[in-house]
Homo-oligomer: A and B are copies of this chain.
Amino acid sequence: FPMGKRSAKPRTTGLTMIIDKGLGLGETRDLLNLAGDYIDFFKLGFGTSALYYNEVLEEKIHLVTSHGVDIYPGGTFLEVAVLQDKLRQYLAMARDFGFTAVEVSDGTIDMSLKLRAEAITTACEMGFKVLSEVGKKDPNNEFEIKEIVQLVNHDLSCGASHVIVEGRESGKAVGLYDKDGNLIMSELEELVYSINDATKLIWEAPIKEQQQELILRFGANVNIGNVNPHEVLALEALRVGLRADTLKAVLQRKNRN
């Protein structure tokens, strides 16, 4: 492949996290048979997990994990649990259903650093892979790089395996994206420059142009999240340079050398 070698599963870089807004069991099976090797995390978006019939949810989780893919309920759901002071009950229930990971975020509510640390360490102790998330969902909240850097380091030191940079489902007017969904590169560079290990970041990037920019900036093995389930193969093609957009970049680089 023109773009160079992709990391193989189980990976710690080059992760792909998909956002599932409600795939049926048949679709889920279909997707995993087609592209299971290219998916690392399966997120049940927006607390939809609370809306499944129990049997369907259990079967779905079993399907996903049996393909070596981690699965977790959306972060909003954990925020509700924290809000209701039911963190441990929530985590126990998630474990009983078979979830292998959780997301610790404060996209909607405010959470003290202490509560956040507790959520991460508790989830780790209970055997979950923990993804934390930085960046508010509300476009009116400013994205303070210094604060973000602090939070990223805090979460990793508490035991989070990766930190997600909020991009929302839409990828627009939030975090590092302007209202048209373009990456604000100066802020991205400042963030990356200040983090010890940028490979610990997962970038929520639902839009193709965002994925493309991240791949051109960081290479094939950048971690990308909030990917549409129907575009996993297309993203993989973009990663390895089989799509026109990244292929051209590869050619230009080769010509220069």
**Chain A contact residues, CB within 8 Å of chain B:** 1-2, 21-27, 29-31, 33-35, 38, 45-48, 50-52, 56, 74, 76-77, 79-80, 83, 107-109, 137-138, 169-170, 208, 230-234, 236-238, 240, 242-245, 247-248, 251
Contact = CB atoms under 8 A, between A and B. Distances in A.
Given A24-B31, A56-B33, A76 B236 contact: no
Contacts of A25: 30, 33-34
Interface of chain A: mostly helix, strand, loop or mixed: helix
Query: Most chain-B Cβ atoms within 10 A of its Cβ — which of A27, A170, A244?
Result: A244
A52 to B, nearest CB: 7
Contacts of A22: 34-35, 230-234
B56 A34 contact: yes
A168 B85 CA distance: 43
B244 A137 contact: yes
A108 B244 contact: yes
Contacts of A79: 247
Contacts of A50: 1, 237, 242
B77 A242 contact: yes
Contacts of A243: 46-47, 76
Contacts of A51: 35, 38, 233, 236-237, 240, 242
Given A79-B247, A242-B46, A233 B21 contact: yes
Contacts of A251: 83, 108-109
Contact of A237 (B38, B46, B208): B46
A46 B238 CA distance: 8
A35 B21 CA distance: 11
Nearest to A44: B233
Contacts of A107: 244
Nearest to A245: B137
Given A22-B234, A47-B242, A137-B244, 11 more contacts: A22-B230, A23-B34, A26-B30, A35-B51, A45-B234, A46-B243, A48-B236, A50-B237, A108-B248, A109-B251, A138-B248
Contact of A26 (B27, B83, B108, B137): B27
Q: Nearest 6 pairs between A and B by C-beta?
A: A24-B30, A22-B233, A47-B242, A26-B30, A46-B237, A46-B243
B52 A21 contact: no
16 contacts: A1-B50, A21-B230, A22-B34, A22-B230, A24-B31, A25-B34, A34-B52, A46-B242, A47-B243, A48-B233, A52-B233, A76-B247, A79-B247, A137-B244, A137-B245, A137-B248
